[in-house]
Amino acid sequence: MKLVFPKQMKEIDRRTIEEFGIPSLLLMENAATALEHEIIPFSPHKVLLLCGSGNNGGDAYAAGRKLLARGIEVSALRIGMPSTREARFNYKLFKNFGGKVYGFKALTEKIKCFIKKHDLVLDGLFGVGFKGMLSAEIIDLIEYLNALSIFKIAVDIPSGINGINGTVNPVAFKADTTVTFGAAKPGHYFFPGHSFTGLLKIAKIGFPEKLFETSNIELVDDKLAKAFLPERIPWGHKGTFGKVCIVGGSSKYTGAALLAALGSIRIGAGMVYTFTPKETQRVVRNSLPEVISIASKSAILTSEDLETLHALIDDIDTLVVGTGIGRADETVEFVKKLLSSEKVKSLKAVIIDADALYAVSKVPEIIMGRENFLLTPHPGEFSRLTRKAVEEIVNNIDAVKSFAREMETRLILKGAVSIIANESGNIWLNNTGNTGLAKAGSGDLLSGTIAGLVAQGLSPLEALIFGSYFMGKAAELAQEYEATLSASMIADNYGKVFEYLKTL
């Protein structure tokens, strides 16, 4: 599903008006009709509008007027006089229809009593034009409203959420339902904004659909995911479904390569190898007899292992490098040499994860323009790659996009909502999953899952998008309470995701 940034929405708004000749008042009227349809099923007796000075307030006045026309009692708290032509027009109509308007300056006891008389609140304080911070008086108002059990509907986006990245500064209107116009905005999905959005409804209010095609941000939804489902040819053999090798493990991290291998197996790869130090090999052998495990020469991975690994590459499709390998100088050197070698060019994909990203951060140029490379950093690893603070990059679509463009690469910045970008600057957001994934091991499972998908024929980018959707969905479909989940339990639920996608 296409998403749009607030700035793109304004541009779509402008083009609809200027190029297609739809009057802006008609768009506002359509927005008001969508809000009216959302409100009517609640059969409210007394509706309160919160109206800012922009068009978000204009939408609320217009919706309020439609409710007045139906005989519902509606009042407005006005935070600033209407400042746009459309808002002024609808403010006037609202008053013509008998709507009462009260100016708001600060939250007094009198205003609190007044608010409590209503059974539905419509938030038209700020929409996509919101920038910066809420003022102290509005914070008081919103916090007071959030604590009341009155039903709350937000116009376009709950006031206080930044539509670009979902930050709230410091609070936002806590909506039960949000009715947004044209397309959802990233801020509806990123946390903490998502927690304030409630049920999100997208109202098509007359923008030509083709204008949304210009947007290069997409939410990975069931429909998109289903299109990537790998085919299982009934007469397929293990070679048909591809071969993966996980290069990982160290004496400290013996489970990481195992979990990555598990991801590849459970997603359907035909053959899975691990290339690990001996200690890790023992763990893999004991837990996953399906895996062909090969041991490195010494207790850590070093450049001495390159010859064996290069020979193995002739037999496989996809490589995962980095899960649990540690950061010893010799291992960093091994990763640099492996990734720079001609040999890895023959692979369908090289998934660079965990400590291999540490090695890459020393010499980022080695990944530049390498078409089969995929990077799977979490914020800490991405911070090291970009030399930017973690706070600066979390939920920062632009940072991920710039990195992908500059390095001519494709990557996923993992998080509660993961950001995927390719070298052309296209973006996908994946919001499947839950806190059951916020546990060591799930990153390893993901890299193996992605590799297993490439082995089965998905392009590296498709595997990145589908793999992250898939693992998240497996966590969602698990019967167990999310706190009790672990990476291997999530892998046990992969079958449920396949079944779920087949029913769509």
- Contacts with ligand NAX, residue ranges (CB under 6 A): 9-10, 13, 27-28, 31, 52-59, 83-84, 126-135, 155-156, 181-182
User: Could you say which of 75, 159, 376, 386 contacts K ion (CB under 5 A)?
Assistant: 159
Shortest-Cβ-distance residue relative to ligand ADP: 443
* Least distance CB 442 / ligand ADP (angstroms): 4
Nearer CB in complex with ligand NAX: 181/253: 181
Q: Assess contact for 262 and 288: CB atoms under 8 A.
A: yes
Strands (E), 271-408: 271-276, 292-295, 318-321, 349-352, 373-375
x/- string (CB under 6 A) for ligand ADP, residues 441-480? xxxx-x---------------------x---x--------
Alpha carbon distance 481, 237 (integer Å): 37
User: Could you say which of 63, 272, 416, 497 contacts ligand ADP (CB under 6 A)?
Assistant: 416
Alpha carbon distance 101, 91 (integer Å): 9
Burial class (CB in 10 A: 0-12, 13-18, 19+), 82: buried
Indicate the DSSP class of residue 42.
G
Task: State which of positions 378-407 bind ligand ADP (CB under 6 A).
Answer: 378
111-129 in b/e form (b: 16+ CB < 10 A) is beeebeebbbbbbbbbbbb
Which region among 63-71, 121-129, 274-282, 307-315 touches K ion (by CB under 5 A)? 121-129
Burial class (CB in 10 A: 0-12, 13-18, 19+), 327: middle
From K ion, ligand NAX, ligand ADP, none, which one binds at residue 198 (CB under 5 to 8 Å depending on kind)? none
Return the residue matching tokens 């749009």: 4
Q: Does 438 bind ligand ADP (CB under 6 A)?
A: yes
Q: Does 435 bind ligand ADP (CB under 6 A)?
A: yes
Contacts of 314 (CB under 8 A, 6+ apart): 346
Shortest-Cβ-distance residue relative to ligand NAX: 127
From ligand ADP, ligand NAX, K ion, none, which one binds at residue 418 (CB under 5 to 8 Å depending on kind)? ligand ADP
What pairing do the DSSP bridges indicate for beta strands 100-103 and 73-78?
A: parallel
* Residue 123, marked binder: yes
Alpha carbon distance 350, 352 (integer Å): 6
Nearer CB in complex with ligand NAX: 134/325: 134
Contacts of 411 (CB under 8 A, 6+ apart): 374, 375, 376, 377, 382, 400, 403, 404, 420, 421, 464
Binding residues: 55-59, 123, 127-133, 156, 159, 256, 324, 378, 414-418, 443-444
Which residues contribute to the site for ligand ADP (CB under 6 A)? 378, 414-416, 418, 433-435, 437-438, 440-444, 446, 468, 472
Which residues contribute to the site for K ion (CB under 5 A)? 56, 123, 154-155, 159
Binding residues for AMP: 414-418, 443
